[in-house]
Structure 1
């Protein structure tokens, strides 16, 4: 199928899904589009089973989309930059300790805890998955998704400091999660006995600190260029070039694309502007990236729903999916509580916020893209893909729709206890 036809069909489907949500469901954008897309895919699967070939074009579209390539190497850079560029860096700096804890230590803990829990829980139900693949599953599912998180945050009344923590964590933990995924993938491929620890450490440092360095340098250069002019069209082109150049350079130098793009976005978006004309251009640039963010969000979640056409057997893994959802929630909770127990004095976060942070840890397209990119035995790959779909659908739709009620309940309870003499 021609690339233009694929893009045209994707945009058209995304517009239809978005319209149905806005007209009939009126759910938060991310949640509504995914719900409509999943319903559409289930109808297509049913139609194909009843009359093979009835939805041939849409089935062909789903099979022609390289989801992992599209998300990880094309869309992710734009989505992360769009979010990072509009972050209030002053608020982020105030919450940097809990953000760094959640985006590094908690990801590592969640990966290990989930891997162990999933391995033994699956065994209890006579589902055998090698331990290394369970850790690999943990690495791809532990980082929260900034795209999904931002969409859900818009519909909640989360306290501002917690909103900053959740958003900041989701922005920064993708880089750590992706590096961890690459390392565990290599261990699974080559075998633990053939892996040299110093080489693993070198890869980690290269990906993380190389990405940070690239982001700072490119962000500074782009900011200086944008600051020297007030022509809006040129400023937009410079920002687009920044994202694309960082993605290409990071890929060539084997650096972390998410870390490079997020660092560049934070650096370029946080600088002060010295004239009214340039301030207006900067504000217009934020609106431009907000529009890009909304459009790519809609397309991404339409693609997630569409991918289900390629896996009509997902319902066969419902037990695995339920186990994975429960184990992930437990792992997420412990990965927050354990560091908090030892670092409580240095973190601006209390135990009462743990449940909100656990429930706000939403997964999305990045986890699915990583699951689809797995190069392991087919039976384990399909099991992990199916379980990942269950987790993403549960977290985006169920957690997304109930998060606001959880926040209202918990904070109303706190206010009531505080007002009681």
Structure 2
């Protein structure tokens, strides 16, 4: 019999192996043929870990939910384009709320009809957890398909809000499965409390932390690393505060992320902190998403055994029925999504024509409608949610069809990812979408305003620093810096429209030359350090300065 110490060491080894699998998966997707989704590779590596270890990790659903859901939802809310979110709020709400309810009802009854052994409440829970879409999956697929930018903003906004609405519906369905009762009136009142208090908790916690951090920073300065750790703790704090108030921690995490995006506009953080914080959050996002899919693969043998037992209860012995169920549910979700998008678009065009007193107006191409339906790929939120299904009912009996539900949800995730990866590039290939002029005009206006502010600041600084520098040095330095901003202000971004594209090409070429020059600078510094002509400390300082400038140029190039 293994000692508790050995059991803990085994668990630690499995966790470390899972993290190594996440790292390996990123390289394997580059080595494998294009089009193979990253989650599929991670699930395969997780299954390999299960075969190596011989036993799975025992999951605590509530702890799993707390560790994975708040930071992912917080980051979605933080990085969502708020302008697009409010501009297309009607369409986004139709997809994020109306489509979720439509999917829960339609897919729930379909699943219960196909699998009578699965209780209706559990079928609704499965449909609810399948309703959220994954913005990360859609974003990675969009890099290979010409999806219009505005449609991407709509899909990102939908994915942000339907995470919350889908998970709330999921919890209602699970509660109905545990208690055996459901009241629409009670659920509606509970939802209002969950939403209102949850959103208030997210906004309140983030605002309070930002205010306190700003006061401390203005008085004592900004300690290195502290703001990054604070940003990592905010989603957990918002989630736990909302849960203690018996509200929705899910909505609190989303609201905290959106509030954080507004707090960031205050510009309190140092430039180096923002760069480091972005790198840390990118790592957290990559790690959490990867670990969830590796964990699914690690749990897969036990899930398959439990799903086979549930399948036998439904009267089917052949395991190929599982594949048929998964494809039927996947195509059902795509069909429901297409119907909803088509119907809401018809209603929107009808209302617009009534207001304008004209015809139905220009209708989107059918390929774009079908692409919107295919773009509803499922991902990490669905997986994290379904893994939190209770292990047992209040009376101690096993939760009905738990393993079958997890397996079907996991299969639908893979099918939706494959369908979007294969279908979207082929469906939208050859289509050309005009660039939105409003965004380009906003960018040009922002560049002009920033250049004007920079010139004014240089002139003020020149007067303030007159006593600290030699009379001949400061005017020359100011003239060199002002010349750059005057070029941007008076030449590039105030030129005629036909010349602006020429100046943009010049900027791109200049950026590429600067990147090549900085790479040569960095290699020269490394060479000096290797031959002990300069100290390691000096090398790190100079390379960091180059890295910060290069990061800015690379971000502009995207």
The CA deviation at 1:136 is 2.6
1:173 to 159, 162, 175: 162
Q: Hey, what does 2:70 align to over in structure 1?
A: 77
Once the two structures are superposed, residues 291-313 of structure 1 have per-residue CA deviations (whole angstroms, 9 ceiling, x without a partner) of 32122222222223323232345
Aligned counterparts of 2:292 and 2:326: Cα–Cα separation in 1: 22
2:37, 2:417 within 8 Å by CA — same for their partners in 1?
no
* CA 1:191–1:90: 2 relative to 1, 3 Å: same
* CA 1:89–1:14: 2 relative to 1, 3 Å: same
1:389 aligned to 2:389? no
1:4 aligned to 2:9? no
- The 3-state SS of whatever aligns with 2:132 is coil
The CA deviation at 1:378 is 5.8
- Greater shift, 275-284 or 310-319, is seen at 275-284
2:150 to 157, 161, 175: 161
1:25 to 9, 16, 32: 32
Aligned counterparts of 1:362 and 1:153: Cα–Cα separation in 2: 12
* CA 1:167–1:273: 2 relative to 1, 3 Å: closer
Q: Hey, what does 1:139 align to over in structure 2?
A: 128
Aligned counterparts of 2:33 and 2:212: Cα–Cα separation in 1: 41
Aligned counterparts of 2:429 and 2:212: Cα–Cα separation in 1: 45
1:301 aligned to 2:306? no
Aligned counterparts of 1:275 and 1:327: Cα–Cα separation in 2: 46
The CA deviation at 1:4 is 3.4
- The 3-state SS of whatever aligns with 1:270 is helix
1:12-411 equivalent positions in 2, closer than 5 A: 12-22=20-30, 24-25=31-32, 27=34, 32-40=37-45, 55-57=51-53, 59-60=54-55, 63-66=56-59, 68-69=61-62, 71-120=64-113, 122=114, 129-192=118-181, 195-228=182-215, 229=217, 230-271=222-263, 273=265, 278-313=270-305, 315-316=319-320, 317-344=322-349, 345=351, 351-352=364-365, 353-372=368-387, 373-374=389-390, 380-409=401-430, 411=431
Aligned counterparts of 1:178 and 1:272: Cα–Cα separation in 2: 27
Report the aligned-residue RMSD.
Answer: 3.2
- Greater shift, 371-380 or 249-258, is seen at 371-380
- The 3-state SS of whatever aligns with 2:429 is helix
* CA 1:150–1:250: 2 relative to 1, 3 Å: farther
* CA 1:41–1:74: 2 relative to 1, 3 Å: closer
The CA deviation at 1:153 is 4.1
The CA deviation at 1:342 is 2.8
TM-score after normalising by structure 1:
0.81
The CA deviation at 1:162 is 0.8
2:141, 2:420 within 8 Å by CA — same for their partners in 1?
no
Q: Give the number of aligned pairs.
A: 392
Aligned counterparts of 1:277 and 1:241: Cα–Cα separation in 2: 16
Unaligned runs of 5+ in 2: 1-6, 308-318, 354-360, 435-558
1:215, 1:246 within 8 Å by CA — same for their partners in 2?
yes
Aligned counterparts of 1:276 and 1:392: Cα–Cα separation in 2: 40
Q: Hey, what does 1:51 align to over in structure 2?
A: none
1:147, 1:297 within 8 Å by CA — same for their partners in 2?
no
Once the two structures are superposed, residues 307-363 of structure 1 have per-residue CA deviations (whole angstroms, 9 ceiling, x without a partner) of 323234565411211221121111222233333333444799965443222111111
Aligned counterparts of 2:269 and 2:185: Cα–Cα separation in 1: 51
1:107, 1:173 within 8 Å by CA — same for their partners in 2?
yes
Aligned counterparts of 1:102 and 1:366: Cα–Cα separation in 2: 17
2:119, 2:400 within 8 Å by CA — same for their partners in 1?
no
2:84, 2:154 within 8 Å by CA — same for their partners in 1?
no
Unaligned runs of 5+ in 1: 46-54, 416-421
User: Whose Rg is larger?
Assistant: 2
Q: Compare relative contact order (CA 8 Å, sep 6+) and give the higher one, 1 or 2.
A: 1
* CA 1:369–1:283: 2 relative to 1, 3 Å: closer
The CA deviation at 1:155 is 4.6
